[in-house]
Amino acid sequence: MPAQVVVVGGGVGGTLTANLLSRDLGREVRVTVVDPTGMHAYQPGFLYVALGQASGRWLSRDERELLRGDVDLVVDAAESIDRSAGAVRLESGASLPYDYLVLAPGARLVPEQVPGMSNGDGGPGAHHFYSLDGALRLREAIRRFRGGRVLVGIAGIPYKCPPAPIEFVLLLEEHLRRRGLREKAEITFLSPLNRAFTVEPASKLVQPIMERRGIALETFFNVETVDPSAGTVTSLEGETAEYDLLVLVPPHRGQRAVEESGLGDAGGWLPTDRSTLEVEGCERVFAMGDATNLPISKSGSTAHFEAPVVASRISSMIRGTEPKSSYGGRVMCFLETGDRKATVLRFDYEHPPAPPAPSAIWHTAKWMFNRLYWVTVPQGRIPERAA
């Protein structure tokens, strides 16, 4: 009787884990991926869509095409996890029993938690590029933009892809410059911290670029509320700023199924061991990617490097051997700085990032990754290697 592994979520983490388990164990395992849409989105692409640099078309593919043939796919939403029964309850009413459970459901956006931040419907409230429809609306708002004050800020922590808001403001500045609108725009970046970006050496690279390009920096500005009628945004720290075009990173929470199951913390995040990726207090349940409570990057790269660890540990448990693989905190993220240059952040728990000066090489590398993603990452064709 093969072991039953249920993977909740068909994003990069879930897809890769499922494929690695199937490849490693063959008939010894039955893997089922459950995903609400059955479509796999390349989320790093939303930023480019918002700036008119990419079409929504290459951002999404059938999850079925990315999974190995012997992995089952159930297109349904997980409603809750019944740990005593060892089963995932689905919205349709069906139930998926598991011997091992991988929770990779990602994070959900909750812009409604910011008073005045409309749900990205293109009204006078705030825009975002954290979903395809949000990115498309923002794209149209940028197309219509003829001048004024542009504010880019963060309305919730934690959020996916720490570099994204900095990348957005730098790429937007370049975009307006190329359209001949730069003189008419006043651009300000509202940082939650006392510098532009959390990783200090990267901030040191990026701040002079912002200064040269006339992008103002407001520090310690954690967006709390938006007043669309007044065109203002107010921070936790008590400051107010005015805007004509407002782009915010929306607040994020863990998925409802996690909250329904009583497994999540105050933000709905799963308490996870930083090395074994087991969910605390749960036997044979693993968490990965955006859904964990780990104070590490919520990025595709994290899930990409966590997946082999989760798959290897489950394989060992199924075979009855001692799990040896552990996650060392490895992440690799690009940071685009505009004008066809980028830097790269590579780090793990033992080695902090030492980003190089922005160059064309890393911008090319990022775009190659954008294009090769579909035929490499989900299938596990990029092998694991030491940082």
Partner 1 sequence: MSVIQVDREIDARGMACPGPLMALIGAIREEPVGTVIAVLSSDAGSRTDIPAWTTKARQELLALEDEDGYARFVVRKAR
Partner 2 sequence: MSTAVAQTLDVKGLSCPLPIVKTAQAVRNLASGDVIEVLATDPGAVPDFDAWCRTTGNRLVEQTEEAGVYRFLIQKR
State the pairing for strand pair 232-235/240-242: antiparallel
Which residue carries 């029993």 as its tokens?
97
Residue 135: Cβ-neighbour burial (10 angstroms; 0-12, 13-18, 19+): buried
CB nearer partner 2, residue 110 or residue 365? 365
Contact 236, 222 (CB under 8 A): yes
Binding mask 351-380 for partner 2 (x = CB under 8 A): ----------x--xx--xx-xx--xx----
354, interface contact from partner 2, partner 1, none, CB < 5-8 Å by kind: none
Stretch that binds partner 1, among 181-189, 231-239, 282-290, 371-379 (CB under 8 A): 231-239
Q: If you ran DSSP here, which 8-state letter would residue 27 be given? A: G
Any idea of the CA torsion for 30, 36, 42, 44, to the nearest 10 degrees? Answer: -120
349, interface contact from partner 2, partner 1, none, CB < 5-8 Å by kind: partner 1
Length of the chain: 387
Q: Total number of residues binding partner 2 (CB under 8 A)?
A: 13
Of the candidates 295, 216, 213, 298, the residue with the CA atom closest to the CA atom of residue 255: 298
Contact 78, 100 (CB under 8 A): no
Q: What is the Rg, in whole angstroms, of the alpha carbon atoms belonging to the chain? A: 21
State whether the Cα torsion 186-192-107-305 is positive or negative. Answer: positive
Residue 374 CB, nearest approach to partner 2 (Å): 9
369, interface contact from partner 2, partner 1, none, CB < 5-8 Å by kind: partner 2
The interface with partner 1 within residues 247-276 (CB under 8 A) comprises: 251, 265-267, 274
Per CB under 8 A, 198 contacts partner 1: yes
Residue 362 CB, nearest approach to partner 2 (Å): 8
Q: Is 128 left (phi over 0), alpha (psi -120 to 50) or beta?
A: beta
Please enumerate in sequence order all residues whose Cβ is within 8 A of that of 12, keeping only pairs 6 or more positions apart, or say none. Answer: 40, 289, 300, 303, 304, 307, 377, 378
Token output for 382: 């990029």
Tell which one of 222, 232, 316, 359 touches partner 1 (CB under 8 A): 222
382, interface contact from partner 1, partner 2, none, CB < 5-8 Å by kind: partner 2
Per CB under 8 A, 356 contacts partner 1: no
Say how many C-beta atoms besides its own lie within 10 A of residue 337's C-beta. 26
Token output for 383: 């092998």
Per CB under 8 A, 220 contacts partner 1: yes
Token output for 320: 């009855």
CB nearer partner 1, residue 10 or residue 106? 106
36, interface contact from partner 1, partner 2, none, CB < 5-8 Å by kind: none
Per CB under 8 A, 158 contacts partner 1: yes
Stretch that binds partner 1, among 8-16, 56-64, 232-240, 370-378 (CB under 8 A): 232-240
The residue ranges that bind partner 1 (CB under 8 A) are 156-158, 162, 192-194, 198-200, 220, 222, 236-238, 251, 265-267, 274, 294-297, 329, 331, 333, 345, 347-350, 352-353
The residue ranges that bind partner 2 (CB under 8 A) are 361, 364-365, 368-369, 371-372, 375-376, 381-383, 385
